[in-house]
Structure 1
């Protein structure tokens, strides 16, 4: 009897994780490793290579993310219009070329342009992956696939920074070259295998214009509330490596900054990998708001831990607490958008969710300004205020139906 149930369970899992779904998840994993090779150390690279101060670094990193996030909404619109194969292949080619440009150029302007394009291409691929999962996987199985996607993203962020640190010790620009090579390798793989997704998924394509789609989304009260809440909370968790690097550059030295950031990124990934299924499986539409508030509380405790950390152990413990908040918030956003998105507008709804990256973009800008005007610890109290405001918008979105 156990053998029969085991075979049935294996068949059920195999049916969910067919080759097109596996390829989508593989795209997440490979390109996250490529991105994580270089971007976690972007603050230090800008400081050492271009001689930028913390405020200018914040503007550079934040501005790149703002532009790519806004353009990502149109990327979601394209995902609804065209096949995942064409969108993902094109975005992956652009991803590899942009990292090549970042490695080759000596101009700050061209370097920032390259980083904008990297972030935009990655965002479009991420939207296409989510949309593909929504099309290929039955509704009752999507939560587990989204959870696995989130886990693979964090495995990529656990591997990438270690490799990036090794390469950066050889040459500061080498992580960008390695990221370009990995991106090119994925393009070759996807060009051969990616067409299966087009043939496997029968997706209703939207015939609405972009302006019509935007008006529709602006009229969705719950989407607007959760998007604003997501922007505010993403100020805190979206690019924590960037603002913590800025803080450490002010209060420490580059070598110690590299070391602590490496510890924190790895701790973040390990906690997510270990606890994501345990915690994420307990989030559903019935307990969405209480779980969101619990996540907000973990963020607040983590921020205060960072504020008063003096030794590496305290930094790591604070990161563990902070990461539990992230574990709660991110899957909740995935499931919420999947629940409210129309079938023919799934991509652009995920594009709207990606607007939370505006918060990730604003984080380094806001923190750079705070660090230049006030005592370093004030930065963490400003971030805590963002969490309180985000909670208010989550409350409004959770109370309203339809």
Structure 2
């Protein structure tokens, strides 16, 4: 009786802990008893095992076939002997006899966990894989278990996830038992089961944190158009609004900066620039270089290059520490950005102008060529002067001939 109670308890515990269907557990238990029985009888008998939920035990049955002449005493029984058990039996029928399975049930109870794990491992892995594959790109909270070859192993409840070294934030330190939030980036099925990969450095981590903090983003009123990060240091996020009455930047910042501050706290002080997104690449680049003020923008759309001019006192701000600000802006816009100060731009223009003048001087004809040109001009002028004299003479002759004509007309 105690064994039956223990068996019932073992089944209930496995169902609860593993979250496996009760029928699967009972089938595995039956298989455990049957395996133990076949091992004892050296597979010489036709046995079946069935779990009885009422009694809470696995019942073992031996089946023999009714024959006229017995050739295998373990699996056959003659007709006369069979009719002593069941008077209506006929040749070819199968008779079942219940065996004492107490010993086998005890063995099954002891090995149930191992047998069930072997039997349902694939089903359990598939369940976990399907559950977490639907949660890809979702932020999840877990508990740090241990470090293993640089990876941080995180307990998610039903599964264990890995946070690789390259996906960990710089200067973050965790100890076993600490709670951690990360985004699920990948779920792989391996021979050891589902492998869940987490990240705290992926740009989507930042986007999802804002989605959790800003209701307008979750509702689709405010849209995140682009995100770039230098994890643990600085990030830029471009947002736009589908409602003209809603300021996307203000919605993300929140009252007195409460919303963005929550995100900054989660990312351990990572600075976040929230900028308005624009289809105009020049305007978008100016926004992306914030907080620096831009004076001029020259756009080469074919090569995706932007030449940006800023005031001299804004140059270091536009470039940022170790070029971080301009690097993030370039990644955000998808363009190469060249930044110049106004004084350098003016010097470049003067140099270009001087170069242009010098080029013109080089193109002036040589002295001999100039002389030949002058002679040619003089020759042309002489011809034109002669033609002018002839025209003048013709004009004079015509003027002199005019009175004679008038005299003839008078006559």
**TM-score category (smaller protein):** under 0.3
Larger strand proportion of the pair:
2
The two structures have a TM-score, normalised by structure 2, of 0.18
Larger radius of gyration: 2
TM norm structure 1: 0.19
